[in-house]
Structure 1
């Protein structure tokens, strides 16, 4: 529920699947408007939107300082800027 983004491309890579024909993967470089972020330190799969007074969720997980994730729930908060096709 929502669109997920990350600063670190290796985090996003975990959510990609290789094309069965040529083994390429696709990732997007996006412009994301986070606004007022609600910080979460544990998973909560029941969230349907950012809490009242917040525009996005910022997931920070102990022991994984470079694996932050961001979730936005409103149309237009995340805009694709570049499409990146690659092989892993």
Structure 2
């Protein structure tokens, strides 16, 4: 995906390189994209991650968020939003 930045493996261990697929998907040229799904109830936190220094590291379609948050209220998030 050309939108994402990539991680390039710089190690020397063949075993580590063999296990990269546990946490990363391989892209072209021995570059890797983190296998992650970022989830929250409100879009503000996802926007903050995207705008931060590592925002372009993740695939854009792996950001999942709702439109209303729980406002740091566990009960509201558990019983009405979640």
Q: TM-score normalised by the shorter chain: which range applies?
A: under 0.3
Rg larger in 1 or in 2? 2
TM-score by length of 1: 0.24
TM-score by length of 2: 0.25
Structure that is richer in helix per residue: 2
Q: Which has the higher contact order (CA 8 A, sep 6+)?
A: 1
